[in-house]
Structure 1
Amino acid sequence: MAERKPRKDAERNRAAVLAAADELFARCTRPEDVTMADVAAAAGVGKGTLFRAYGDRTGLIRALYAARLEPVARAVEEGPPPLGPATDPRLRVPALLDALLCFKLDHRHLALALEGDGSDSPYRAEHYGYWHSLLKTVLDRVPGFDDDGFAAHALLAAVRADLVEHLADGGAPREELRAQLARYVARVLGSPAPTGGQGGAAR
């Protein structure tokens, strides 16, 4: 039983760190202002614990981003329509992008921190590669639509965190942003514009 305590402590520390980082990014004015020292203090752990667990600030942000995105990724991999793999690709493409838009609206500063940390090109990030590959695969299944990868890049550009932040800060309502994205995707796919103003599942 004694061997289980460190594992439980590590799990508890991880939950505390992610919750603290989540709150700090949600409340911050600028994502770059959130430091490892801030997260450690808010979580009640030492800075050394953070660096051992995540390597650096970017590693922590990536871990938090992956944890918060996990329900969406699970729905994409094995869920029912409109996100799940059994969905008609002409419906799945707008649903995937709508889910990403909603996620970035809900986690604006976290997404900005990850996409703008300056450590590398955002296009080389693991999460970007995942969504680009997935979107290209779905686009390849759309009848009469042959994507060499460019369309997937162009569609993902419409939900970049900096663009989402710019539009949301400019006062664009959430549902209007979703409706605009749905209309844009419909034009790209050459399909009828959706009714009801939304391209994915209701949120």
Structure 2
Amino acid sequence: MNAVANPRRERVDAARNRVKILAAAASIVAAHGVEGLSMADVAAAAGVGVGTLYRRFGDRSGLAYALIDEREREFQEAFIEGPPPLGPGAGALERMRAFLHALTDRTVEQLDLLLMAETASPFARFGGAYAAYHAHLSMLIGQVEPEADGYVLADALLAPLAAPLLAHRMRECGVTPERVKSGLDDLVAGFA
């Protein structure tokens, strides 16, 4: 059965619980940071059982991804069908630069949640969002430099935005988001 043609519908009570859980988790993160996000506290604040949380989200990293999800959907919509230069209608180099700048801002905005989510397992970073970013950059690289290995080069452009590396560079080394963007601009300029 095609999941897209026939999406699994969420029960009304499950949808209501999801909204309560995510609101409680967001409130806890806003008040206490990601370090204060415990499954027991979220369950208590949402008025649901801890088992419900574990069944729904798996663990804290699953809950972190759920909190990240709405912002991620907005970001993907912007680079897939939004206005140029991030969306279609601008040249490939301009789109690459706009995409990497927007991704830097988006990563910094939710850095602690991404850090928790991306370090949950060795390959946690390489889920759906990363695959979308990678495909987008590979396509743009192919438009600019058809002979280049866009598959590998997309990873090189995304590497500086890995949450653990970005957090380390910003917090331990004093690197600013503007400096990261400038370095990415230098990499993109190599395609011209």
TM over 0.5: yes
Q: CA 1:19–1:174 in structure 2 vs 1: closer, same or farther (change >3 Å)?
A: farther
1:181 aligns with 2:183: yes
| Number of the residue aligned with 1:3 | none
Which consecutive residues of structure 1, in runs of 5 or more, have no partner in the other structure?
1-5, 191-203
- Calculate percent identity across the aligned residue pairs: 36
1:65-80 matched pairs, under 5 angstroms: 65-80=68-83
1:172 aligned onto 2:147: no
5 Å matches for 1:18-37? 18-25=22-29, 31=34, 34-37=37-40
The reply to whether residue 138 of structure 1 matches residue 140 of structure 2 is: yes
Taking a change above 3 Å as real, the CA distance of residues 25 and 144 of structure 1, as seen in their structure-2 partners, is: same
Q: Letter of the aligned partner of 2:38 in structure 1?
A: T
**TM-score relative to the length of structure 2:** 0.79
How far the C-alpha of 1:144 sits from its partner, in A, is 5.7
**Aligned-pair CA distance for 1:50:** 1.4
| Counterparts of 1:136 and 1:34, CA distance in 2 | 36
Match of 1:50 among 50, 53, 76: 53
Give the CA deviation at 1:32.
6.4
> Which residue of structure 1 aligns with residue 151 of structure 2?
149
Give the equivalent residue in structure 1 for 2:90: 87
TM-score normalised to the size of structure 1? 0.75
Aligned residue identity for 1:65: I
SS at match of 2:175: coil
- Return the structure number with greater relative CO, CA threshold 8 A, min gap 6: 1
- Between the aligned partners of 1:189 and 1:27, the Cα distance in structure 2 is 44
Report the alpha carbon displacement of residue 129 of structure 1 after superposing the two structures with TM. 1.6
- Note the aligned Cα RMSD (angstroms): 2.5
Displacement after TM superposition at 1:182 (Å) = 4.1
Q: Which runs of 5+ in 2 are unaligned?
A: 1-10
Indicate the residue corresponding to 1:63 in structure 2. 66
Name 2:131's counterpart in structure 1: 129
Amino acid at match of 2:14: A
- Length, aligned pairs only: 181
How far is the alpha carbon of 1:185 from its aligned partner?
3.0
